Amino acid sequence: MTALSTALYTVSTSEEADQFVAMAPGMSAAYAEQPGFQKLVVARDVMDPMTIVTLSWWDSQEAADAWTKSQDYRSAKNDSGGQGLKAKMEFGRWESTK
């Protein structure tokens, strides 16, 4: 069953929001190398541009958890320009109700 991982980020300035969005290409490449990864979408709220959401689809919740808990995840975040970026973050894990 496919698992959906979400992360809702809220930043304080438009510069931080731009920095976060600029990380997307590097993070997308790192996600693509992970076992069980299917797809990543990064979106900025048009009504509140200080809010960014990431949606990633995985083969399982375990695959998503393994990625977000890994040193590779932290390294990819830093290598993509996220070092020092502060954001309020809320994570979620979702599965289909078929």
DSSP label at residue 70: S
Give residue 82's pLDDT.
66
Give residue 35's pLDDT.
95
Give residue 57's pLDDT.
93
Q: Which of 21, 34, 24, 43 is nearest to 69 (CA)?
A: 34
Mean pLDDT, consecutive 10-residue stretches, the chain (98 aa), reads 85 86 86 93 91 91 90 82 70 71
N- to C-terminal Cα separation, the chain: 10
Give residue 13's pLDDT.
87
- Coil, helix or strand at residue 21: helix
